[in-house]
């Protein structure tokens, strides 16, 4: 690959997406130098990665991979404590940090004395994330982290990552071939084409609203408007005044995703649905026209 220039905004999650052969994993692995770039410059927080001792660089970057890569011969506690131990933290500090992380990723502390093979796929993936965050690195690299778990667990792990990111604000680079995963998780999407060509970079909603070319449009797939509605919430569009006789039994909330609100409208054979605020008071009415108008503005 050649001539790829990317900025990963601090504290946000950027997804590298593209077909196989687009170099998304290569790009990721060049950041922690698992693949050495032959030319070009990669900087992490203003420091050139090629100028740093490779083990020091890597200890400062969290790394999560698809098959978890947990150490089968170490307990969950020892797995999570890997980088702190490499950094020479004393035992008590490592133990305290391990306990914090187990809590952060929502694992049962009982599991700390188990071995990875005794855990489910979802639990193993959570351990992988806890291990990557152990030394509190500012950067987290995630290589297809959820492609080996079943869809239900995957959806839950994705929700957990969103919640986790709200608390830790890491600069996350996530590689995925699943555009819907990228739309759901990312603040920014870098869509790559074969050969490492950057086709489009921007927030998911921007790509969905205005794909720059056919490649981007095709990769995003059909139902781009619906996918974009999944990113917006009812409060993001202007509501219509309430009409008498509206059925409030089907009411949606202000924080309901727009896509889900549309589903409610269609499913109840109506043209509108009542919207209630946090206190359960009717705040307005959402119509299909309102949704379309709101989408056009954004």
Could you list the residues that contact another protein (CB under 8 A)?
32, 34, 54-59, 61, 63, 65-74, 82-83, 86, 114-115, 117-120, 123, 131, 141
Q: Are residues 201 and 189 in contact, defined by beta-carbon separation less than 8 angstroms?
A: yes
Q: What contacts 22, CB < 8 A, 6 or more positions away?
A: 192, 193, 194, 195, 196, 197
Instruction: Return the number of the residue (66 or 287) whose C-beta is nearest another protein.
Output: 66
Instruction: Return the number of the residue (4 or 57) whose C-beta is nearest another protein.
Output: 57
Between the alpha carbon of residue 267 and those of residues 19, 126, 245, 262, 296, the distances in Å are 35, 36, 18, 8, 23
Instruction: Return the number of the residue (57 or 216) whose C-beta is nearest another protein.
Output: 57
- Least Å distance, CB 176 to another protein, is 17
- Least Å distance, CB 200 to another protein, is 28
Instruction: Return the number of the residue (69 or 196) whose C-beta is nearest another protein.
Output: 69
Instruction: Return the number of the residue (123 or 200) whose C-beta is nearest another protein.
Output: 123
Q: How many residues does the chain have?
A: 298
Q: Are residues 157 and 100 in contact, defined by beta-carbon separation less than 8 angstroms?
A: no
- Least Å distance, CB 39 to another protein, is 22
How far apart CA 229 and CA 295 sit, in angstroms, is 8
- Residue 90 burial (C-beta neighbours within 10 Å; 0-12, 13-18, 19+): exposed
- Residue 180 burial (C-beta neighbours within 10 Å; 0-12, 13-18, 19+): middle
- Least Å distance, CB 1 to another protein, is 20
Instruction: Return the number of the residue (119 or 190) whose C-beta is nearest another protein.
Output: 119
Backbone angles phi, psi at 172, to 5 degrees: -110, 130
DSSP 203: -
- Least Å distance, CB 82 to another protein, is 6
- Least Å distance, CB 11 to another protein, is 22
């Amino acid at each position: 690959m050649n001539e790829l220039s990317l900025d990963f905004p601090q504290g946000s999650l950027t997804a590298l997406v593209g077909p196989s052969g687009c170099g998304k994993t290569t790009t990721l692995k060049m950041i922690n130098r698992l693949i050495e770039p032959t030319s070009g410059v990669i900087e992490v927080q203003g420091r050139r990665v090629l100028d740093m001792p490779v083990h020091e660089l890597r200890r400062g970057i969290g790394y999560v991979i698809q098959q978890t890569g947990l150490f089968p011969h170490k307990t969950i506690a020892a797995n999570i404590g890997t980088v702190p131990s490499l950094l020479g933290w004393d035992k008590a500090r490592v133990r305290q940090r391990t306990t914090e992380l187990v809590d952060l990723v929502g694992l049962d502390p009982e599991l700390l004395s188990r071995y990875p093979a005794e855990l489910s796929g979802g639990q193993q993936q959570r351990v992988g994330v806890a291990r990557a965050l152990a030394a509190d690195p500012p950067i987290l690299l995630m290589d297809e982290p959820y492609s080996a778990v079943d869809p239900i667990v995957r959806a839950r792990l994705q929700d957990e990552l969103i919640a986790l990111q709200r608390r830790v604000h890491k600069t996350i680079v996530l590689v995925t071939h699943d555009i819907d995963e990228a739309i759901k998780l990312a603040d920014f999407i870098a869509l790559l084409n074969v050969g490492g060509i950057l086709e489009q970079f921007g927030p998911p909603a921007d790509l969905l609203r205005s794909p720059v070319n056919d490649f981007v449009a095709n990769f995003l797939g059909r139902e781009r408007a619906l996918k974009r509605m999944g990113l917006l919430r009812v409060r993001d569009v202007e509501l219509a005044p309430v009409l008498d006789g509206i059925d409030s039994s089907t009411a949606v909330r202000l924080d309901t995703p727009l896509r889900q609100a549309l589903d409610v409208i269609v499913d109840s054979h109506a043209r509108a649905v009542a919207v209630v605020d946090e206190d359960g008071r009717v705040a307005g009415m959402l119509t299909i026209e309102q949704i379309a108008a709101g989408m056009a503005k954004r």
